[in-house]
Copies of this chain bind each other. A is one copy, B any other.
C-alpha cells in the first residue's frame, strides 16, 4: 500500500486557514507565493511517497540495533537519509544565511506531516535536528551559529535534546547532570540521560547534543538548569568533526513503536560542553523552543492518522465481505459499502483533517508571532499549541486503533501494517510533555495567568465563524449550530475553571485534561467549519467541486459526530471533580 501525500488538502489549509494573507505580507516571505509552495511540496511529496514510505515497514521490522556502544540503523534508512541530505530537505524553513530555503512554517508543517506519515521513525531524526537548529538560532552565540548551523541545516549533522533522567521526566527540576566550568570556556558535562531520541546512530557525520545540566553553584530546582552544546565529535578549527567526545551510548530501548528510531541512554563522562546563552536560563531557553517542538509532535499525530486512514481506506475498498444491509446487492460487497465501516473511515478522516486544519492555522500564527511581537498573536499561539499537541496526539491513538479495527483480524497481523501505526501513535501523547503536562500548561499559564482573557478571545473568534455559518447554506447552518453548542460548553467550562481555580485548585486541575480536550476538539471543529465556508465559496464558483464537496462533508461529520463530545467534557469538568478527588485507592 502506497502513501499518497495529501498535497491538495495541505494547500487548501495553507490558502484558507493559515492566515496566508498576513503571512505572505511579511517582509521575510515577500517572494514566496502559493504556486512556489505547491511546487516545493510536490517535490517533497514525491521524495516522501516514493523513497521513504516504502521503507517504514521494513525498517520497523529490522529496528535500530545496538552493539558494543554503537547503534546501526537499517541499511535502507542510511541510504534514504543520504538522499534526504543530498536533496536538502532539512533546510525547508531555515534561514538562507545558513543555507536554508527560508520558507514559512506553514510550509514546514506540511513537510513534517508528509515525512512523518511516510515513516515516523525516520521523521524523528530531522524533527530533532529542527529543534536543535531552532535552539541555536534563538539562543546561540554568533560563533556557535557559525560552527553548527550550516551542517545541521544541510542535514549532515543531526541534533538531539537531552532533558530526561531516570528521576526527572515531567519534573525537569530534578535534573542532576552536572556542568562544571573548566576555565577554558568549556564545561565538563557528567551524568546520565535517558530516552534520547536519535541519541546515537550512523546516519550523520556528527551529532549535536543539547543537554540540560546544572552548574555546581546553581540553585536547586528548575531555576538552576543551564543548556549546553555537547557535540558527539568535537569540531575542529576547519569546521569538520574531529575527536570523539566523552559521550557513550549505554543501550537503546526495546520499544512498543517507532522501533527504527533509536532511543538511547547516554552517559556523559566529563564530556566537553559549551554553554548556550547564560547559566541558569536553560529551562527558559527550552520553553522558547517548546512551542515549535510540541507543535511538531502534534503534526506527527496528523501524519500517523493520515497514514492509518489511507491504509484503512484502501483495505475497505479492496476487501469484499457480506451483503449490504439494505439488500441492494445479492452478493458480498466491498466493506466500504457497510455503514459502520463508513462511520469508522469518516471518523478517521474528520479527526485527521480537523487536526490538519487546526495545525495550519497555528503554523501561520507561529510565523506571525516569530517575526513580530504582537502580544495578542503570541498569546493565541501559546494558547493553541497545547491544543494541537494534545488533540492531534490523543486522536492519533484513536484513529490508528480504528484503522486496525477496519482491517478485522488482518489488522492484528503485523505484516498488514495497520498495527504499526497503532504502536507508533502511542508515544505521541507522552513525549514532548504528556497530555497532562499540556493541560497544566494550558490551564496554569495560558488561562489562569491572564484571567481567561486569551481564552475569551479564542471563543470570540469562533463566534465570528458561527455568524458567517449562520449566513450560509443549510449545511453551514447545521455545522454552525453544533459549533455554537460546543463553544458554549467551552465558555461554561471556562467560567467554572476561572471561578474554581480561585477556591479549589485541585478541583480545577481535576478537569484540566477534559478542558484541554474540549478546547482542542472545539478548535479543530472551528477550523474545519472555516474551511467548509471557503470550500462552499469555491464550489459555487465551480472550482474543484468534488474536493470541495468532501471538505464540507468532513466538516459536517465532525460537527455531528465529534463536536458533541465537548458537552460530555463540560459535564466532567463542572460536575465531576468531587467524585474524582474524593475516591480513595486502598491497598
Chain A residues with CB under 8 Å of chain B are 164, 167, 169-171, 174, 194-195, 253-257, 313, 317, 320-322, 325-327, 332, 336, 338-343, 345-346, 397, 401, 404-405, 408-409, 411-415, 419, 422-423, 426-427, 429-431, 434-436, 439-440, 444, 505-506, 509-510, 512-513, 546-547, 549-550, 553-554, 556-557, 559-561, 564-565, 567-568, 571-572, 575-576, 579-586
Q: A171-B321, A405-B435, A560-B572 are in contact. Are A550 and B584 (CB under 8 A)?
A: yes
- State whether A427 and B412 are in contact (beta carbons under 8 Å apart), knowing that A342-B510, A506-B339, A580-B557 are contacts in the complex: yes
B585 touches A256 (CB 8 A): no
Distance from A349 Cβ to chain B, minimum over Cβ atoms (Å): 8
* A332, A436, A439, A584 — most chain B CB neighbours (10 Å): A436
Q: Point out the residue from B256, B561, B581, B582 that lies within 8 Å of A576, measured CB to CB.
A: B561
- Give A579 to B346 CA distance when docked, in angstroms: 9
Check B564–A564 contact: CB distance below 8 A.
Answer: no
| Residues in B neighbouring A404, C-beta threshold 8 A | 256, 426, 430
Partner of A413, one of B253, B321, B423, B440: B253
Q: Is the CB of B565 within 8 A of A579?
A: no
A477 to chain B, nearest CB (A): 13
Taking the nearest CB of chain B, how far is it from the CB of A450, in angstroms? 18
In this complex, what residue of B is CB-closest to A554? B583
B560:A340 contact, CB within 8 angstroms: no
Instruction: Give the shortest distance, in Å, between A580 (CB) and chain B (any CB).
Output: 5
Q: Provided the pairs A326-B505, A408-B430, A419-B256 are in contact, do residues A561 and B572 lie with their beta carbons within 8 angstroms?
A: yes
Pair A322/B435 contact, Cβ less than 8 Å = no
In the complex the two chains form, is A549's CB within 8 Å of B584's CB? yes
Given A405-B430, A509-B325, the answer on whether A340 and B584 have CB atoms closer than 8 Å is no
Q: Is the CB of A579 within 8 A of B550?
A: no
| Closest Cβ–Cβ distance, residue A250 to chain B (whole Å) | 14
B583, A557: Cβ atoms closer than 8 Å = yes
Please, how many angstroms separate the alpha-carbon atoms of A434 and B439 in the complex?
A: 34
- Chain B nearest CB from A537 CB (Å) reads 20
Bound form: Cα–Cα A576–B397 in Å: 23
Q: Which residues of B contact A583 (CB under 8 A)?
A: 342, 346, 550, 553-554, 556-557
User: Quick check: B170 and A321 within 8 Å, CB to CB?
Assistant: yes
Q: Tell me which residues across on chain B come within 8 A of A411, comparing CB atoms.
A: 256, 426, 430
How many monomers of this chain does the complex have? 2
Please judge, given known A-B contacts A171-B332, A430-B411, whether A560 and B584 are in contact too, CB under 8 Å: no
Q: A339 near B408 (CB under 8 angstroms)?
A: no
| Shortest Cβ distance from residue A373 to the other chain B in the assembled complex, whole angstroms | 31
For A405, the closest partner residue in chain B by CB is: B429
Ordered by A's residue number, 21 sampled pairs between the chains whose C-beta atoms are within 8 Å are: A167-B320, A169-B321, A170-B408, A171-B332, A194-B409, A256-B414, A256-B419, A317-B585, A326-B506, A339-B510, A340-B439, A340-B513, A343-B510, A345-B585, A549-B584, A550-B586, A557-B580, A559-B579, A560-B575, A565-B568, A567-B568
A336 surroundings in chain B (CB, below 8 A)? 585
Contacts of A342 in B (CB 8 A): 510, 580-581, 583
Would A557 and B586 count as touching, CB distance under 8 A?
no
Provide the residues of chain B in CB contact with A415, threshold 8 Å. Answer: 254
Contact at A169–B408, with CB atoms within 8 Å? yes
Q: How many Å lie between the Cα of A575 and that of B479 in the bound state?
A: 12
Does A409 contact B581, Cβ atoms closer than 8 Å? no
Per the bound structure, the CA–CA distance linking A509 and B339 in Å amounts to 6
Min CB gap A358→B, angstroms? 20
Residue of B nearest to A485 (CB): B571
B582 touches A409 (CB 8 A): no
Query: B431 and A409: CB pair below 8 A?
Result: yes
CA distance A549 to B322 in the complex (A): 49
Note all chain B residues with C-beta closer than 8 A to A423.
Answer: 256, 423
Minimum C-beta distance from A583 to chain B (A): 4
Complex contact A584–B553 (CB within 8 A)? yes
Chain B residues with CB under 8 Å of A435's CB are 405
User: CA–CA, A194 to B413, complex, Å?
Assistant: 12
Given A554-B583, A572-B561, A586-B547, do A430 and B401 touch, yes or no (CB 8 Å)?
A: no
Q: How far is the CA of A317 from the CA of B322 in the complex (A)?
A: 49
A255 to B506, CA, bound (A): 42
A332 touches B174 (CB 8 A): yes
Query: Are A436 and B340 interface neighbours, CB within 8 A?
Result: yes
Measured CB to CB, the closest approach of chain B to A267, in angstroms, equals 18
- B549 near A576 with CB under 8 A, answer no
Other A-B contacts than A336-B585, A338-B509, 4 sampled, CB-CB below 8 A, are: A255-B414, A339-B510, A405-B430, A564-B572
- Closest residue of chain B to A256 (Cβ to Cβ) is B419
A575 / chain B contacts, CB cutoff of 8 Å: 560
Q: Which residues of B contact A580 (CB under 8 A)?
A: 339, 342-343, 346, 557, 561
Cβ–Cβ contact A582 & B553, under 8 A = yes
A509/B340 contact (C-beta < 8 A), A256-B422, A346-B583, A414-B256 known: yes
Give bound CA distance, A429 to B332, whole Å: 22
Q: Which residues of B contact A431 (CB under 8 A)?
A: 409
A257 to chain B, nearest CB (A): 7
Closest partner residue, chain B, to A313 (CB atom): B585
Among A194, A256, A430, find the residue whose CB has the most chain B CB atoms closer than 10 A.
A256
Contact of A426 among B167, B401, B557, B576 (CB under 8 A): B401
Query: In the complex, what residues of B have CB within 8 A of residue A547's CB?
Result: 586
